[in-house]
Chains A and B, each alone.
Chain A
Amino acid sequence: GGMLAAGLLLLLLAAGPGWAGAEQARRDVLREELLLSPLPAGDLAATFQFRTRWDADLQQGEVSHYRLFPKALGRLVAALGVRELHLALTQGFWRTRVWGQPPLQAPAGAELWVWFQPTVTDVDKAWKELSNILSGIFCASLNFIDSTNTVTPTASFKPLGIANGTDHSLLRYAVLPREVVCTENLTPWKKLLPCGSKAGLAVLLKAERLFHSSYHSQAVHIRPICRDASCLAVSWELRQTLTVVFDSFSSGQGKKDWSLFRMFSRTLTDACPLASQSKVYVDISPKSKEEELLEVTPTPASVHEAIVQGDKRTYAVYDLLSPSLFNTSRSLNVQLKWKRPQDSSELPTPILHAQRYVSGYGLQTGEISTLIYNTHPYRAFPVILLETVPWYLRLYVHTLTIITKGKENKPSYIHYQPAQDRKRPHLLEMLIQLPANSVTKITIQFERALLKWTEYPPDPNHGFYVSSSVLSALVPSITAMKHVDMEQSPLFTSLFPSSDGSSYFVRLYTEPLLVNLPTPDFSMPYNVICLTCTVVAVCYGSFYNLLTRTFHVEEPSRGRLAKRLANIIRKFRGVPPL
């Protein structure tokens, strides 16, 4: 009896740590990071990244206890069979030519692209449910995503997490270019953060400063990643990124010196207690070899060097979790001062940038032109262009021309899915080779359709938006890049998987277009119905008369009232009667 009890006790003791170990295996880790990069012309870009990595398999459905990973998103992923989800809400346009290559760009409006698991049978139904649920979570009108603006790309948007196979029928992509981003989209986004906006870097996210900027983009990315180097198990990663560009004229009141207080009207006081890492990086890369451009106060504790997007960059690092940071003052207000004024000749041109515009006159036809620039001096590389055009701009694919350096450039892969009226948009995907140091011009003509009067938005003469086209490319980098370990390196280097060190992945978006369509007169429905039916009735009446009546000799009628009256009047006048 006693021996049995002691044995049971031993067993329990042995199993105890096992349970604790099982709890530990489901651990989740939060890292937060702020990257401040000064842009040419005195603007400043601030990129926040909050990354929660959870070592649990959401698909198996065995999780019920959510700690750092938000429950709304976790349940969504599990219930609808989502493998990858990327949602971005953006206001403004990233000017690649002036500001350089963006760390992560998003098109103006709302963009949602999702890879579903192969177990999902009805992808379109899952997509519709997903967009409705996300519309509720983020207070954005994502419920307007339907078949008229959803496409299934065949070459772009490959999965960013681990994937077993790429069956493109599981991918859906939609953009709502007319979507406006404002405070009520920021608030639910902040609520998903483990610390909310009460501690850590998220205290800087105050709406009245964030929306007073040239570019504001907030995004949510969920993807599965390898748990460790052997990649035997899957972890789920949630990244929330927010990029904002402060304009030196509107936000900085004309002065080019920046500080956290001037940008966000707040300073950092502590790190989020739930975070395992909380850092601020400031890009202090020297533009020329002689001297540095920026002076940063307070003096950074360490300096980090990395090769980002083909360039060697130097970052000043402030670790909010290190106890020595808040020794001297209770708050951290990073200040940047320009040491010497910048001239515009130092503006580096990014290797790949693009531009898109609409040309033509009148409301009948038009032409969409896309210009893609490859400024690399000696390397050529291919780029995948994805264009989604709404159905009411009828593209004529026989007018598609691609001209590089004056000669025709034939794409090596072209996938064109024509639109169907009121059902799906045009999808044009092409793989184009860009020779070194060249400009490629892609033009396609379209015809504008007349819509039914109920299909026009409330302000029809504002025009209709055509969503940005997407350029995906592996740009050859000037400096060779090393493979980055996702856990050790800063977050801004590990967003896109890199296959080899000689090129980096870039996804660019062009400008959205605004196109006018001919409008009918909206005040006229009753009038139009009456007039057209009158014309038809004229025909019907004439034909009815001619078909059903025959000619007769007219009989003189007698005793007509009108004739009698006329005769009476004639008698008064003295004129002979009729």
Chain B
Amino acid sequence: VVEGLALLDLGVSPYSGAIFHETPLIIYLFHFLTEYAELVFMITDVLTAVALYLAVQDINKVVFKKQKLLIELDKYAPDVAELIQTPVEMHYIPLKVALFYLLNPYTVMSCVAKSTCAINNTVLAFFILATIKGSALLSAVFLALATYQSLYPLTLFAPALLYLLQHQFIPIKLKSKSFWLYTLQYAALYLGSLVVIICLSFFLLNSWNFIPSVYGFILSVPDLTPNIGLFWYFFAEMFEHFSLFFVCVFQINVFFYTIPLAIKLKEHPVFFMFVQLAIISIFKSYPTVGDIALYMAFLPVWSHLYRFLRNIFILSCVLIVCSLLFPVLWHLWIYAGSANSNFYYAITLTFNIGQILLVSDYFYAFLRREYYLTHGLHLTRQDGTEAMLVLK
């Protein structure tokens, strides 16, 4: 960003080079705030934590209401008392979420590095807060801001829509007219805010140069600087013939989990949002640890799933060890020269596998708990012996 500002001062468009890839609004925001950069990033982190705190408080209220409704409707099996969430155990969860975000070493590293990812996280946190509170307009505006900055929050449109439909008590049936009406309303709000923000950026710098520099850059991955994601080494070692094909495959990979997840998790839009955030953080073209910090902040909300997680110990070890090895192997490759790029790449692979398995483990635990809630905790087979659950 500092480079972009220096280029602006020299009278050259910041997008004429290949270094600056942030949006014009960020440039103008930092035009005034460069002096107080550390303070700005600390404030954004605090704002994110506050937004998450308030959002999770409301999530808890919604969960209680739903639980109560389902208990009264007798949808739960009789012996699942220990699985039901009680207010006592959920009292400290919002605080835990806020602390998880603030004290996460990844958040601290992002703040120290003054990465604009922190601003992304703040906008996303406000988007979640606005959605949970039920305000469609604010939710659309924040989602448009988040999409404007990095393209991938577009996929969060689906969970937000599902949540708001539930909030308005509109049933999610494809034939229902009110469903389509509301969807169109929300989509119109979202697209309208997006168009307004893009036109505003155009008028700020008087050119459309920012579109290929920001979005073209995200989509076509020209810069291969090593990061914690999977893309950089893949495209560094790609045959030229296939590079367009694989760019398309990788980008589609981020977006195409949305519809299946929406179908499976339409009753649980908050969990859907969590999984979608995690998928964005893992598979986006230039991931940073700040993105990981955001979805990890939600883990306390699902702490009641702990008994169903299968591999949590191994996965936490993998994640911790990989995080510690990242800087070591980077140093060995770039500075000491005694290691290869393969070492750093291997840690990238392991770290991403760890994240993927973490998310799918939580997903498994969530689905399993749902099954137990409706079918009872102690399952017996036809001949009376204890049964095992399998996915078939």
Contacts and interface: CB of A to CB of B under 8 A. Distances in A.
22 contacts: A418-B7, A418-B16, A418-B18, A418-B19, A420-B16, A421-B18, A449-B224, A450-B225, A452-B237, A518-B333, A520-B237, A521-B237, A525-B237, A528-B237, A536-B253, A539-B282, A542-B356, A546-B391, A547-B260, A551-B368, A551-B391, A556-B383
A363 B7 CA distance: 25
Interface of A: 361-364, 391, 394, 396-398, 414, 416-422, 447, 449-454, 518-521, 524-525, 528-529, 531-532, 535-536, 538-540, 542-543, 545-556
Given A524-B237, A539-B283, A554-B381, 5 more contacts: A521-B342, A538-B353, A539-B282, A542-B357, A550-B392
Interface stretch (B128-136, B226-234, B313-321): B226-234
Contacts of A551: 367-368, 371, 389-391
Interface in B339-392: 340-342, 345, 349, 352-353, 356-357, 360, 363-364, 367-368, 371, 379, 381, 383, 387-392
A456 B110 CA distance: 33
B239 interface: yes
Name the interface size band of chain B.
35 or more
Contacts of B226: 450, 518
Contact of A532 (B16, B233, B390): B233
A524 B239 CA distance: 11
Contacts of A521: 237, 340-342
Nearest to B355: A539
A449 B3 CA distance: 16
A553 B387 contact: yes
A449 B223 contact: yes
Nearest to B225: A450
A394 B222 CA distance: 14
| Main SS class of interface, A | mixed
A420 B390 contact: no
Contacts of B371: 550-551
Contact of B392 (A419, A535, A549): A549
B342 A414 contact: no
A152 to B, nearest CB: 14
A346 B353 CA distance: 70
Contact of B341 (A449, A520, A529, A531): A520
B389 A553 contact: yes
The 4 A-B pairs at the shortest CB distance, nearest first, are namely A418-B17, A398-B6, A542-B360, A362-B335
B291 to A, nearest CB: 16
B360 A554 contact: no
B200 interface: no
Contacts of B367: 546, 551
A554 B236 CA distance: 47
A529 B235 CA distance: 9
B89 interface: no
Interface string B172-183: 000000000000
A251 to B, nearest CB: 38
A195 B26 CA distance: 67
A528 B282 contact: no
B113 interface: no
Contacts of A518: 226, 333-334, 341
